[in-house]
Amino acid sequence: MNRTLIPTLVGVFTSLFAIWALHTFLIVDECLDNGGSFDYASAKCLLENGQVYDSELATIAVVLYFVVGFIVSFVVSTCIRKVFNIKANS
């Protein structure tokens, strides 16, 4: 495996973890703000009257996830390259 590829892969996997954590936080927080309880087993928001709450953040979240993923991936891969003194192939 190319030595310069490793920081990029670590950055991508770190950004995927960050997106997953952000998604979980946003969905659970919105559910609780609307007076529901989040069922982790089914990953659904249940309101007091028994209905399932559908999030309105879907379109905004996709853009947010893209931006956060790009930034986290870039920062992590740059930091790894600086710490381990890895030069990019020209």
pLDDT digits 0-9 by tens, 28-49: 999 999 899 999 998 889 999 9
Torsion of CA 59, 71, 10, 14, to 10 degrees: -50
Phi, psi of 45 (to 5 degrees): -95, 120
47 CB-near residues (< 8 Å, 6+ apart) = 34, 35, 36, 53
What's the chain's length in residues? 90
Q: Is the pTM of this model over 0.75?
A: yes
Question: Alpha carbon of 49 to those of 27, 36, 46, 78: distances in Å?
Answer: 19, 9, 8, 49
In this predicted model, what pLDDT tens digit does every residue of 7-17 receive, in sequence order?
A: 999 999 999 99
